[in-house]
């Protein structure tokens, strides 16, 4: 975290999430969506290289980083609504949305549900979905294991393989 960033807890829909904001003065904010199970710190090297004039917002999705695990599994449409709540609470009419890996799917879902609020959609290292070439069965089993939703130690033990 840089000293110019502010970290706070926000309630987005029914979820309490940790949000980091680096305030800038130059127009449209950039919202960063992390890869699966990753905390907002994952993209710190990218934030460090972006213009300090840009407002950058990162968040831990429910069940990742320091955000509590939700009572029920989340869905991409539900997470996209929560992201819309974040924009509402910050009075952002629109944003540039960057999604890394799994966060790319969330970014795409947000853009689909909110075409007027997503000025730019940027996806980085994001798979194409169900028609992509599948990984080996052992990697897929680790990626879909129920432990991935609530056990940070499990995620750390399999992250390099996934």
Q: For the segment 75-124, what is each residue's pLDDT rounded down to a tens digit? A: 899 999 999 999 999 999 999 999 998 899 999 999 999 999 999 999 98
Residue 162 has pLDDT above 70, yes or no: no
CA–CA distance, 146 with 23 (Å, rounded to integer): 36
Active site residue 14: no
**pLDDT at residue 1, as a whole number:** 55
Q: 26-71 pLDDT, tens per residue?
A: 889 999 999 888 888 988 999 999 999 999 999 998 888 888 888 8
Give the separation between CA 39 and CA 43, rounded to whole angstroms: 8
DSSP class of 28: S
Tell me the C-alpha distance between 114 and 120, whole Å.
12
At 68 the pLDDT is 83
| Residue ranges per structural domain of the chain | 5-126, 131-162
Which CATH fold topology does 5-126 show?
Rossmann fold (3.40.50)
* Cα gap 134→21, rounded to integer Å: 36
Please tell me which residue in 39, 101, 136, 157 is annotated as part of the active site.
Answer: 101
Put simply, whether the predicted model's pTM sits higher than 0.85 gets the answer no
Segment 133-155 mean pLDDT? 74
Inform me whether the pLDDT recorded for 2 exceeds 70. Answer: no
- The pLDDT, as a whole number, for residue 96 is 97
């Amino acid at each position: 975290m840089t000293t110019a960033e502010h970290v706070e807890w926000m309630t987005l829909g029914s979820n309490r999430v940790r949000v980091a904001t680096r305030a800038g003065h130059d127009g449209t904010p950039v919202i960063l969506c992390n890869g699966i199970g990753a905390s907002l710190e994952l993209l710190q090297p990218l934030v460090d290289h972006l213009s300090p004039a840009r407002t950058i917002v990162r968040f831990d999705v429910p069940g990742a980083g320091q955000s509590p695990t939700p009572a029920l599994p989340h869905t991409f449409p539900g997470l996209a609504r929560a992201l819309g709540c974040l924009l509402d609470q910050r009075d952002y009419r629109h944003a540039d949305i960057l999604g890394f890996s799994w966060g790319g799917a969330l970014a795409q879902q947000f853009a689909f549900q909110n075409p007027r609020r997503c000025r730019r959609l940027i996806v980085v290292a994001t798979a194409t979905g169900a028609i992509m070439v599948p990984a080996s069965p052992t990697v897929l089993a680790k990626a879909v294991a129920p432990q991935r939703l609530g056990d940070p130690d499990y995620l750390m033990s399999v992250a390099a393989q996934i």
